Chains A and B, each alone.
Chain A
Amino acid sequence: MTAFLTLHAPLWPVLLPIFGAGLATCLWKQRRAQRLVTGLCITLLLAASLLLLAAVYQQGILAIRFGGWNAPFGVVFVADALSAAMVAITGILAAAVMTFGLADIRRREEQAGFYPLMLGMLAGVNGAFLTGDIFNLYVWFEVMLITAMGLLSIGRNRARLDATVRYAVLNLFSTLLFLTGVALLYGATGTLNMADLARVLPETEPSINLTLSALLLLCGFGIKAGYFPLFFWLPASYHTASITVSAIFAGLLTKVGVYACFRVFTLIFSVEDSGIREIVAVLAAGTMLFGVFGAAVQWDVRRILSFHIVSQIGYMLLGLAISTQAALAGAIFYIIHHIIVKANLFLLAGAIHRASGTFDLRKSGGLMYRNPLLAALFLVPALSLAGLPPLSGFWAKFLVIDATFRAGEHWLAGLALFVGLLTLYSMSKIWMEAFWKKPVLPRAEARRVPRPMLLAIASLGALTLVIGFMPQPLILFSQTAAAALLDPSAYLSAVLPANPILEARP
Chain B
Amino acid sequence: MHLLFAFAIAIVAGCSLYLILSRHIVRILLGVTMLSAAINLVIFLSGRIVTNVPAVIRAGESSLSADAANPLPQALVLTAIVIGFSLTAFFAALALQTYRSLGSVDTRHIDAAERLGSPFPAAKDRP
Number of interface residues of A (CB under 8 A): 48
Which one of A169-177, A439-447, A471-479, A487-495 is at the interface? A169-177
Taking A153-B97, A165-B94 as contacts, is the C-beta distance between A135 and B35 under 8 angstroms? no
B117 to A162, Cβ gap below 8 A? Answer: no
13 pairs from A and B in contact (CB 8 Å cutoff):
A150-B90, A159-B112, A159-B113, A165-B95, A166-B113, A168-B90, A182-B43, A183-B42, A184-B42, A298-B117, A299-B119, A303-B118, A506-B47
B80: Cβ under 8 A from any A Cβ: yes
- Closest CB of chain B to A210's CB: distance in Å? 12
B11: Cβ under 8 A from any A Cβ: no
B45 to A359, Cβ gap below 8 A? Answer: no
Interface flags, B66-97, vs A, CB<8A=1, else 0: 00001011001001100100110011001101
- Closest CB of chain B to A145's CB: distance in Å? 7
Give the residues in chain A near B28, CB-CB below 8 Å: 169
Number of interface residues of B (CB under 8 A): 41
**Which 7 A/B pairs are nearest by Cβ-Cβ distance?**
A300-B117, A187-B46, A158-B112, A162-B113, A183-B43, A159-B112, A163-B113
Taking A183-B43, A186-B46, A506-B70 as contacts, is the C-beta distance between A158 and B101 under 8 angstroms? yes
Give the residues in chain A near B12, CB-CB below 8 Å: none
Taking A158-B112, A169-B28, A506-B48 as contacts, is the C-beta distance between A164 and B94 under 8 angstroms? yes
Interface flags, B88-110, vs A, CB<8A=1, else 0: 00110011011001100001001
Q: How far is the CA of A303 from the CA of B119 in the complex (A)?
A: 12
Residue of B nearest to A169 (CB): B28
B114: Cβ under 8 A from any A Cβ: yes
Q: How far is the CA of A183 from the CA of B80 in the complex (A)?
A: 11
- Closest CB of chain B to A434's CB: distance in Å? 12
B87 to A162, Cβ gap below 8 A? Answer: no
Q: How far is the CA of A161 from the CA of B32 in the complex (A)?
A: 18
- Closest CB of chain A to B126's CB: distance in Å? 16
Main SS at interface, chain A:
helix
Which one of A43-51, A235-243, A337-345 is at the interface? A235-243
Q: How far is the CA of A237 from the CA of B113 in the complex (A)?
A: 7
B114 to A236, Cβ gap below 8 A? Answer: yes
Taking A145-B87, A172-B87, A183-B46 as contacts, is the C-beta distance between A299 and B117 under 8 angstroms? yes
A428: Cβ under 8 A from any B Cβ: no
Give the residues in chain B near A176, CB-CB below 8 Å: 32, 35-36, 39
Give the residues in chain B near A298, CB-CB below 8 Å: 117-119
Q: How far is the CA of A299 from the CA of B117 in the complex (A)?
A: 5
Residue of B nearest to A142 (CB): B83
Which residues of chain B (9-66) have a CB below 8 Å from chain A? Answer: 20, 25, 28, 32, 35-36, 39, 42-43, 45-48
- Closest CB of chain A to B108's CB: distance in Å? 12
Taking A184-B42, A186-B43 as contacts, is the C-beta distance between A173 and B32 under 8 angstroms? yes
- Closest CB of chain B to A357's CB: distance in Å? 14
B28, B90, B119 — most chain A CB neighbours (10 Å): B90
Give the residues in chain B near A300, CB-CB below 8 Å: 116-118
Give the residues in chain A near B118, CB-CB below 8 Å: 298-300, 303
**Given contact pairs A161-B94, A165-B25, A176-B39, a sample of 11 additional A-B residue pairs in the complex whose CB atoms are under 8 Å apart:** A161-B98, A162-B114, A166-B113, A169-B28, A180-B42, A183-B39, A184-B42, A186-B46, A237-B113, A298-B118, A506-B72
